[in-house]
Amino acid sequence: GAGVSQSPSNKVTEKGKDVELRCDPISGHTALYWYRQSLGQGLEFLIYFQGNSAPDKSGLPSDRFSAERTGGSVSTLTIQRTQQEDSAVYLCASSLGQGRSTDTQYFGPGTRLTVL
């Protein structure tokens, strides 16, 4: 079946511009996660959605970052007034959400964001 998809695959923007990154999770997965991976760094958790519960935003690095998930499916990560340090690969993952400790997270191919 279809995996997690993300768009765009690459995004180049100028400092100060806003960007929107999209994630389509696997159908039927109630849990959705956003991570980012900077060059030479590990994956950094950003935000987590589970069903209709309030999202866990504990990983968002600043108030320039926000995310929403409409209809319990597609999610959009928005970065306002982008800075050069925002350059990274933004990865989305989804899981069944039936038991966090054992849920397997399936990752999308990521969006490579470059801020000039």
Distance CA 109, CA 93 (A): 9
Give every CB contact of residue 76 below 8 A, 6+ residues apart in sequence.
20, 21, 22, 23, 67, 68, 69, 70
Six-digit token pair at 56? 């866990």
Residue 40 in contact with another protein, rule: CB under 8 A? yes
List strand residue ranges (DSSP E) for the chain, in order: 5-7, 10-13, 19-24, 31-37, 43-50, 65-69, 75-79, 88-95, 106-107, 111-115
Site for another protein in 79-98 (CB under 8 A): 91
1 belongs to the binding site for another protein (CB under 8 A) = no
Per CB under 8 A, the list member of 45, 62, 68, 78 interacting with another protein is 45
Span interacting with another protein, options 14-22, 53-61, 66-74, 77-85, rule CB under 8 A: 53-61
Residue identified by tokens 């696997």 is 26
Contact stretch for another protein (CB under 8 A) within 20-28, 43-51, 60-68, 77-85? 43-51
Is residue 56 part of the contact set for another protein (CB under 8 A)? yes
> Given candidates 43, 60, 74, 96, which one binds another protein under the rule CB under 8 A?
43
Residues of this chain that bind another protein (CB under 8 A): 33, 35, 40-43, 45, 48, 50, 56, 58-59, 91, 100-102, 104-105, 107-110
